[in-house]
Amino acid sequence: MKITLVKKIKLDGSLCKKCEEVQQKLDATGQISLIDEVLIADERDPLSPGMEIASLFNVERAPFFLVEREGKAPEIHTIYFKFVKEVLNQKTLEEDELKEILNDNPDLDFL
Amino acid sequence: MSENLLSTVDLDQTLSAQTPQEILSFALEQFDNIAISFSGAEDVVLVDMAYKIAPEKVQVFSLDTGRLHSETYRYIEKVREHYNIDIDVVFPESEAVNKLVREKGLFSFYKDDHKECCSIRKIGPLRRKLLTVDAWITGQRRDQSPGTRAAIPVIQDDKAFARPGESLTKFNPLANWSSEQVWAYIRSNNVPYNELHDRGFVSIGCEPCTRPTGPTQHEREGRWWWEEATLKECGLHDVNIKK
Ligand code: SF4
């Protein structure tokens, strides 16, 4: 299995907020050691490796994880806690999961 | 639903040209285990439409955050009686609410922001409910929050709430309707509505986080008005993705 993390650099040159948060979590938990490659999707450069992958797999969110397993179709994971649970088989905290869902779907607070 | 849907992207294009009733008909035909999220506000039109399309299939749920207006509780009851339907009222986990209140008090959202409280009181119970269905229907509209809702599709593959290894489909039949269209429907069909609307409340949520708005204000200004209107920015800008 090969895991690639794609992080986004925004038009103003800064790293996207969620990319920073996910990077911090990966570092704090040691999960970063399970990531084989980190690529940058630079919004200022459509040819940057991360932008190419985003385009190839039609991904509209960052950060995301590309998971490639032998003999299987590549998987894209845009939800960090699901990636941790389903790919890394590790535990996550419910409160973190709920916050991530709301942050990724800010309209849900309107319900 | 028999198959693992339906290309939601292709379907979105087709369904976007259809009326909310046509979209609802499609949703109710495709899925047996499908539920409407009813917030106790003008999204009642979905209940009315679904009831007229397939009364036997109407499954409705409401999120009771514990902080709704008493008018909203009365209204949910009124809708239940008017249509003679069950409304599954779902609640947050008491332990999570206890912890929040113990650590941060009853009005933490005025000091921090509303996300922590909303994630416990709304997203938690919503997730528990959605784990029991194959599809759900919301009254989300593009005109409710121009910034974040501009891209609301009519149908989407809801990865956030899907059971592991399965899919969950979300329908937003009112995505392309305006507030005026919703209210024209309510009036012409004599649909019961929340009495708070007559007191200047356009958007109705929890009591401490909702206020009436004036004619020149956007309805979003009636919610969490003390927070800065910051938009989350995590999408990859399409223009920059090489096609
Ligand atoms: S709207 Fe306000 S009271 Fe209701 S769940 Fe969100 S923050 Fe809490």
Q: Which residues of A touch B223 (CB under 8 A)?
A: 109-110
How many helices (H) and strands (E) chain A has is answered by 4, 4
Segment A68-101, tens digit of pLDDT: 999 999 999 999 999 999 999 999 999 999 999 9
Amino acid at residue number B1: M
Dist CA B41 CA B24 (whole Å):
18
Size of interface A-B (CB pairs under 8 A): 112
Tokens of B47: 């209940």
Q: What is the mean pLDDT of chain B?
A: 89
Residue A30 CB coordination number (10 Å): 9
What SS3 state is found at A3? strand
Tokens of B238: 């399409």
Dist CA A84 CA B157 (whole Å):
20
CATH 3.60.15.10 describes domain B8-240: no
Q: In degrees, to the nearest 5, what angle opens at C-alpha B19 toward C-alphas B15 and B20?
A: 90
Task: Report the top-level CATH class of A2-104.
Answer: alpha beta
Q: In degrees, to the nearest 5, what angle opens at C-alpha B194 toward C-alphas B193 and B199?
A: 115
Dist CA A55 CA B49 (whole Å):
39
What SS3 state is found at B16? helix
pTM listed for this prediction: 0.86
Q: Please tell me if residue B205 touches chain A, with a CB cutoff of 8 Å.
A: yes
pLDDT at position B6 is: 56
CB neighbour class for B127 (10 Å; exposed up to 12, middle 13-18, buried from 19): middle
B39 lines ligand 1 (CB under 6 A): no
pLDDT at B234 over 60: no
Average pLDDT over residues B182-194: 97
Amino acid at residue number A70: E
A19-23, B11-15, B19-23, B203-207: range with lowest mean pLDDT = B11-15
pLDDT at position A60 is: 85
pLDDT at position A45 is: 95
Strand residue runs (E) in B111-208: 135-137, 155-157, 169-171
Q: What is the mean pLDDT of chain A?
A: 93
Segment B25-53, tens digit of pLDDT: 999 999 999 999 999 999 999 999 999 99
* Domain extents in chain B: 8-240
- Interchain pair A108, B122: CB under 8 A: yes
Q: What was the ipTM of the complex prediction?
A: 0.82
Tokens of B23: 């979209």
pLDDT at B226 over 60: yes
